[in-house]
Structure 1
């Protein structure tokens, strides 16, 4: 598990490696890493789901770091990149000499978490934290946010049930 402090330290190591190679990198973090590093609502996350550029350089350096620090090979991965849309604002998390780290705006994070609506993960707790952060009062407000990023016909029924149950439990 990676704590917020460890995530930041690993990004600093990655920044140094980018500097040594004369490269500039950018990482967009999503999922648990955002909840740890940005919102401090989780103590740790298993890995860092992200999109990154230049991908071949960062992937190679992440492999080196995994070996040096005895981390899982997928400590930094782009497995979720297919789920990202381009319609959100990026908020800077960390700006180092050769590495920029950003996260999606909170409303987009909420939308992503609701769309995935996985019961066997931290999604429920993350959604509750984001609802509180955004000061939302009802499911209708959450659906309006989701529909601002995703077409209504692409929102799965499980998302509706998930959100309704979250608000039932918030009462």
Structure 2
């Protein structure tokens, strides 16, 4: 079983170990759990563009919260994880999502991991548009390349499927312009 790296981050191998461990504890307690992961954990596990992430941005389905909290505490102790290793703050930005397009990422015996489709993840990165050290810019560039987006119009069409374009303020517009420039396009 992998422990956290010296830098306190979880890489793909550690994340998979954590999910395997969670599945075993769920199985022991005859509990089924569905979790949707977002952000850095997806970029680390699916797109291999990040060496690691500091937390798991996620949303859990309804379950036995007392038992789940106990299992999460066991996991935290076993892997020497910091407080906040499970981050449900993603629920805030999700209130702005017009529709959720989820797909299955991985299925264990008692744990099912879902993730948003690439287009939704890109829209969420554009909406967040956080400055460094957040990785939104790098993530958005990778997602644009993955989706073959080369025009501002195509990007905005994807984004508008998931968030209202009225939510795009100055920060998001500058983010999009710099993103286009970084990808070699003029998105002014």
Scaled by the length of structure 2, what TM-score is found?
Answer: 0.86
Q: By how many angstroms is 1:59 displaced?
A: 3.2
CA contact (8 A) 2:33 2:111 kept: yes
Q: By how many angstroms is 1:169 displaced?
A: 1.8
Q: By how many angstroms is 1:67 displaced?
A: 1.1
CA contact (8 A) 2:98 2:163 kept: no
Q: Which runs of 5+ in 2 are unaligned?
A: 1-8
Q: By how many angstroms is 1:118 displaced?
A: 0.6
Counting only pairs closer than 5 Å after superposition, residues 66-105 of structure 1 correspond to structure 2 as: 66-84=76-94, 85=97, 87-105=99-117
Counting only pairs closer than 5 Å after superposition, residues 21-170 of structure 1 correspond to structure 2 as: 21-53=29-61, 54=63, 56=65, 57-84=67-94, 85=97, 87-120=99-132, 121-170=134-183
- Choose between structure 1 and 2: higher helix proportion: 1
Q: Deviations along 1:27-81, whole A, 9 cap, x unmatched?
A: 1000000001111111101110000122724333112111122111221221111
CA contact (8 A) 1:52 1:58 kept: no
> For residues 138 and 86 of structure 1, what CA distance do their matches in structure 2 show?
22
Q: Pick which of 134-143 and 110-119 moved more.
A: 134-143
- Choose between structure 1 and 2: higher strand proportion: 1
Q: Deviations along 1:73-132, whole A, 9 cap, x unmatched?
A: 221221111212361221211100000001100000000000000112111100000000
> For residues 62 and 140 of structure 1, what CA distance do their matches in structure 2 show?
43
Scaled by the length of structure 1, what TM-score is found?
Answer: 0.94
The change in CA–CA distance for 1:114 and 1:151 in structure 2 (over 3 A counts) is same
Aligned-CA RMSD value: 1.4
Q: Pick which of 113-122 and 61-70 moved more.
A: 61-70
Q: Which runs of 5+ in 1 are unaligned?
A: none
